[in-house]
Amino acid sequence: MIRLSNTNQRRIIIEELRRIKCHPTADELYEIVRQRLPSISLGTVYRNLELLADCGEILKLEFAGRQRRFDGDIRRHCHLRCLHCGSVEDIRIPGVELLERELDKFLGGRIRAAQLEFTGYCRDCAAKLGVTPSASAGRSRASSFMN
C-alpha cells in the first residue's frame, strides 16, 4: 500500500468527503472544498481523489456510463444507485462480509476488492414516483439496511 504525505489540501479533501453523507463527483467535491481553499484547482482535487482511492483512503465508485463518485466511508458496505436522479446511498447488509469471504475462498484467494451496487430508487424519488415495496420485502426490514 502506498503512503501519501498529508498535505493541507489532501487533508481538507478527505475531511469534506467524510463530512458529507452523499457520494459526490470530483466536480461537486471541488465546489465544497473551494469554500475552505478558494485557490485550489479542479485538477488538484481530481489528482488527490485518484491518489487517495489508489491508497485505499477513500472509495472510488465507478458505475457504467456514469461519472465517478467518491465515498469517504471505506468500511465494507453496498450502494444503491437511483435510476431516477442518479444519487448513491449507502446500504449495510448483514452477511455481505461472509459472502465475500466465501467467494474469496472458492476462488483461491484471488479477490482483492469488491463493490456491490444495487439499482433502484432513492427514498425521495420512490415517494415522488409512487414506487411501493414489493410484497416480498417488508418495509421495516428494508429500511433497517439504509444509513
Residue 64 in this model has a pLDDT that exceeds 80: no
Structural domain boundaries, residue 135:
75-147
Confidence of residue 140 (pLDDT cuts 50, 70, 90): very low
Q: How many separate domains does the chain show? A: 2
Looking at 57, 74, 91, the residue that finishes a domain is 74
Over residues 40-52, mean pLDDT: 96
Query: Which domain CATH number covers 21?
Result: 1.10.10.10
Each residue's pLDDT tens digit, 88-108: 999 988 888 888 889 889 999
Average pLDDT, the chain: 86
pLDDT given at position 2 = 57
Over residues 58-63, mean pLDDT: 89
In this structure, the answer to whether residues 33 and 87 fall within a common structural domain is no
Looking at 74, 97, 114, the residue that finishes a domain is 74
**146 contact partners, CB below 8 Å, separation of at least 6:** 80, 89, 90, 91, 123
Q: Among candidates 58, 51, 54, 26, which has minimal Cα distance to 40?
A: 26
